[in-house]
Amino acid sequence: MELKNVGRVVSRAWEYGQDKLLNLRSQTQLLFPSVLGMPIRGPLVQFYRNDEKFETRLSLVNYMSYFSPDEAITQNYSLTTYDPSGRRLGRKTLPLLPGQTRQENLATLMEGLVAEYGIFSVNTTYSPRYSGRIRFLGETSPQFMTLFIPKDGKSGPQMVHSHKRFEAWPVPPGASSRPSSCVEDLRELCRIDIFVLNSGPASVSGRILFNSLETKDTLLTLTFDVPGHGVRRLILDEKELGRFSAPASMRIEHNRMIQHRKPILFRTSRTGFVSCNHL
Amino acid sequence: MNRKLFIPSLRELGYFSGFSLRNPLAFGYAGTAPVKVLLTLFRESKPVHTHFIEFPRAQAYIITRESEWNLPGGQTQAGDLSTAEYVSGTNEPIPGDFPCEGQIIMDLPETGARASVLFEMVPVRGKGHKYAPIYHNAHYMLSSDLFETHACMMNFNIDQLETSDGSNKFEFRVLSPDGKTLQVTNRTLAYNSTSLISVSELCNGKQTNDNVAVLARGGAAQFAILSVFLNKRTNAIGLEHSLPPIYYTEAVKHTESRKVFYQKAFGNLWN
């Protein structure tokens, strides 16, 4: 077996083992919820930007009020922000009373503890931690949405969901290669910004391959090296986009099987409209 | 199991629809050759047009716009729903037991605005399947002087393919940030159609600059729901799909807890 395949097997086994351990923890909590509290996934992770083009708004909900409306449960959300190098900037706790939703600028919520862009994590706990009448819910997961509000007055607001876990423990190296379902007609764009996230604490390197739809030939390769819990920004400007004569697909390769392997792509049309989706 | 990519019409906002799909053969997912994509247009709830798109064997993806679909009237209309699915050379459905994610693409040619979202092809069960009721908690709505949000509800019903009869009953509840009910609207959403419902419409045309949430609950069918975020000045949009309750609670995995979940989440709407 080649060395890179050994790495892949180890990496997948690690991921499988980690999922099993988390599942075991969840099942144990459900056996003794009054002592250990109800199981809640997380923390989860997503990307923010806070620059001249976009502000990030975070939308949170006390989902327990909707899943189990006869229980008055407060949800305490905790938010942690990181800068592009993976340095932790700050942590805030935000209680959501029964029935509440909150939709606020992340920079305001974090009292300015944000960078130009980076990742943030979201966790939640219940207060009270347990009631017999919520046991039917089993493990729940924080509900949040990340909205990118444009500052140009012309683009539409953009939104991305997340159900990917923020990782505290490093994943061993092991190659991952994933074709994105995103096809871009690059001839119609004047700029692409791709933000590659690292949900884990160890650095990740890899590349994004732009391929011909017809022949699968690689037309352009962008490489990245992202520090633990960091973000790397990759830019294709008008000159580079001008090299493409047809739509292209993208393949994303990582050297570690981190949880969040879907970079966020912002496209700027030739008339200046910006929109985004994950890859 | 057959899977379909649901493609809405956003004609009310001036958009032209398109999509991209992988060629399962080129990725080694499907052994049957050749593979085609069957596009079906539903208008006024009835299938009125089909169009086939062939994959050259080595081609990895197709990207296609509605101008290539030879549509009746030349373009989609408000309320239209299109579906795209993989079929064999003899037009038999190909079971989607491989990664089946597509991309919905929306273009506004007059301004050059565009938006897209990656979206799993929806598993379509056979006739007579009993679907779970729909529970959609949109706590991320924007409604202001500049922005508006539409819930884009695509409602597919395989039992009603040949008729325009029938619809789902839905309750849309607009909630304040403190969870107080501001407005309740009941709507019927026709089978095999796209319904675009804005926050201000749910507030009886009154603009709300508050960060309201919309709780939509209603009858069972094969729904796919997108959020469409609109810049009212330019009609530029952003798109994102919703996630079903299974992403947020294990309760819907098991028969007994699922029943309790829907009883509690639906309250007096449950029957």
A137 touching B (Cβ < 8 Å) = yes
Q: Does any domain span residue A214?
A: yes
Q: Does any domain span residue B171?
A: yes
Residue whose pair of structure tokens reads 């975070």 in the numeric block: A58
B1 touching A (Cβ < 8 Å) = no
Give the confidence band of B210 by pLDDT, cuts at 50, 70, 90: confident
Three-state DSSP at B79 gives: coil
Q: Does any domain span residue A56?
A: yes
pLDDT in tens, A163-215: 999 999 888 888 899 999 999 999 899 999 999 999 999 999 999 999 999 88
Using the CB atoms, write b or e for B102-117: b if 16+ within 10 Å: bbbbbbbeebbbbbbb
Residue numbers of B between 122 and 151 with CB closer than 8 Å to A: 137, 139-140, 142, 146-147
Quick one: tokens of A113?
Answer: 């503890």
| Cα–Cα separations (whole angstroms), residue B75 to A267, B105, B117, B236, B255 | 26, 15, 21, 20, 44
Domain boundary among A165, A193, A228: A165
Q: Does any domain span residue B254?
A: no
pLDDT for residue B35: 86
pLDDT for residue A215: 83
Residue numbers of B between 20 and 79 with CB closer than 8 Å to A: 20-22, 26-27, 56, 58-63
Whether this model's pTM surpasses 0.90: yes
Which residue blocks in A145-269 are alpha helix, DSSP H?
Answer: 238-241
E strand residue ranges, A10-105: 44-49, 54-61, 74-82, 88-96, 101-105
Q: Which domain holds residue A87?
A: 40-165
Give the confidence band of B28 by pLDDT, cuts at 50, 70, 90: confident
Residues A75 and A144: beta-carbon distance below 8 Å: no
Q: Does any domain span residue B261?
A: no
In CATH, what number is assigned to the domain containing residue A229? 2.60.290
Q: Does any domain span residue B66?
A: yes
- Chain A positions touching B53 (Cβ under 8 A) are none
More reliable by pLDDT, B97 or A148: A148
| Cα–Cα separations (whole angstroms), residue A145 to A35, A103, B100 | 31, 9, 24
- Chain A positions touching B240 (Cβ under 8 A) are 145, 158-161, 277
Contacts of B250 (CB under 8 A, 6+ apart): A137, A138, A139, A140, B257
Give the confidence band of B116 by pLDDT, cuts at 50, 70, 90: very high
Q: Which of A103, A134, A141 to mutate to test the interface with B (most CBs of B within 10 A)?
A: A103
Residues A113 and A88: beta-carbon distance below 8 Å: no
pLDDT for residue A167: 94
Same domain, yes or no, for A184 and A144? no
Q: Does any domain span residue B177?
A: yes
Same domain, yes or no, for A131 and A222? no
Quick one: tokens of B244?
Answer: 């079903």
∠ at Cα A39 (A35, A41), nearest 5°?
150
A147 touching B (Cβ < 8 Å) = yes
Q: Does any domain span residue A3?
A: no
pLDDT for residue A13: 84
Same domain, yes or no, for A89 and A177? no
More reliable by pLDDT, B248 or A6: B248
Same domain, yes or no, for A137 and A54? yes
Number of domains making up chain B: 1
Same domain, yes or no, for A231 and A147? no
Q: Which domain holds residue B47?
A: 3-243
pLDDT at B94 over 90: no
Candidate ranges A84-88, A237-241, B164-168, B254-258; pick with highest mean pLDDT:
A84-88
Q: Does any domain span residue B36?
A: yes
Å between B164 CA and nearest CA of chain A: 33
Domain boundary among A145, A165, A185: A165
Q: Does any domain span residue B215?
A: yes
Q: Does any domain span residue A4?
A: no
A105 touching B (Cβ < 8 Å) = no
> Which residues is A173 bridged to in the sheet?
A256
Same domain, yes or no, for A133 and A222? no
Q: Does any domain span residue A117?
A: yes
Short-list B125, B124, B177, B97, CA closest to B3: B124
Q: Does any domain span residue B258?
A: no
pLDDT for residue A4: 65
Using the CB atoms, write b or e for B219-243: b if 16+ within 10 Å: bebbbbbbbbbbbeebbbbbbbbbb
Quick one: tokens of B143?
Answer: 């409604």
Quick one: tokens of A205?
Answer: 């390197």
The DSSP line for A107-143 is HHHTTT---SEEEEEEEEEEESS--GGGGGG-SB---
Q: Does any domain span residue A20?
A: no
How far apart (Å, rounded) are the C-alpha atoms in residues B28 and A251?
16
Q: Do A66 and B137 touch (CB under 8 A)?
A: yes
Number of domains making up chain A: 2
A175 touching B (Cβ < 8 Å) = no
Name the average pLDDT for chain B.
90
Find the range with the poorest average confidence among A6-10, A64-68, A70-74, A227-231: A6-10
More reliable by pLDDT, B205 or A230: A230
